[in-house]
A = this chain, B = another copy of it.
Amino acid sequence: MVEVRSGEIGGKVSDKGMSNTQQAVSVLKDLILDNRLASGSNHLESELAKMLGMSRTPVREATLILEAQGLVEVKPRHGVRILSISPKDMTEIYDILTELESLSAELAAKQNHSDEDFAGAVDAIHRMDSTLKNEDREAWAMADETFHSELVRLGGNERIANIFRMYSDQVRRARKITLNLRPKPTKSNDDHRRVLKAIRLGNAEQARELHRLHRIQAKEMLIGLLEEYGFHNV
């Protein structure tokens, strides 16, 4: 049995001010995204409670929150089921992100952002370049996600940002798998550069369409890989 608490395995260093419920959400999410709670597996409330070193009450609350976020399914008397992601799920999520990120690009282009506002996105692109040179795909993926997240932030729609975070969590496992199967993502870096340029020039429609295309291509490659390699549930 795994004993998981903040300072030990859980990950997060500082739990200060966090309620047990919030801690449980955070730790469970980490465990799920790391695949240490395997997708498809079931876990009783009491088991998780023992694992997290707290009573059932906050664990139960956490599972309800995670269920609302789409990471688990609470099935009475069968425990909490860690949801897996199928190619169909990936398609659904990528379709949504394609639309909402493209809209974000459009909205970002329509605003009067300062150079400072773009610093995060510029830095992300730089890191994508350098990590790609070093063949560090793990780090490249992080920088890539940062760029997308910056794009969404620049768009200024907070609800899109929430949706983005939620679905990024859900597809992380699948992305990790395809990361080393896919060809070297040189084009992604170029795409991002072009999108950012269009945004900075205030060219909303172009930014939107460029990003949309980028996303659609990324989706097709990813789904293709998942199906080609037979990952029907991740």
Residues of A within 8 A of B (CB): 21, 57, 60-61, 64-65, 68-70, 92-93, 95-96, 99-100, 102-103, 107, 157-160, 163, 167
Measured CB to CB, the nearest residue on chain B to A102 is B99
Residues of chain B lying within 8 A (CB to CB) of residue A107: 95
Q: Can you report 22 residue pairs joining A to B where beta carbons are below 8 Å apart? A: A60-B61, A61-B61, A64-B64, A64-B65, A64-B68, A65-B65, A65-B68, A68-B69, A70-B159, A92-B158, A92-B160, A95-B107, A95-B160, A96-B157, A96-B159, A96-B160, A96-B163, A99-B99, A99-B100, A99-B102, A99-B103, A100-B100
Most buried by B among A57, A60, A159: A159
In the complex, what residues of B have CB within 8 A of residue A99's CB?
A: 99-100, 102-103
Residues of chain B within 8 A of A68, CB atoms compared: 64-65, 68-69
A157 contacts B95, C-beta separation under 8 Å: yes
Q: Hey, which chain B residues are within 8 Å of A96, CB to CB? A: 100, 103, 157, 159-160, 163
Q: What residues of chain B lie closer than 8 Å to A100, measured between beta carbons? A: 96, 99-100
- Which residue in chain B gives the minimum CB-CB distance to A170? B159
Give Cα distance in the complex from A65 to B69, angstroms: 10
- The CA-CA distance from A68 to B68 in the complex, in Å, is 6
Q: How far is the CA of A107 from the CA of B107 in the complex (A)?
A: 24
In Å, the complex CA distance between A180 and B70 comes to 37
Tell me, in angstroms, the Cα distance from A68 to B60 when the chains sit together. Answer: 15
CA distance A157 to B92 in the complex (A): 6
12 extra A-B contacts, CB within 8 A, seeds A96-B159, A99-B99: A61-B64, A64-B64, A64-B68, A65-B65, A68-B69, A92-B159, A95-B103, A95-B160, A96-B157, A99-B103, A159-B167, A163-B163
In the bound complex, how far is the Cα of B173 from the Cα of A58, in angstroms? 33
Least Cβ–Cβ distance between A17 and chain B, in angstroms = 11
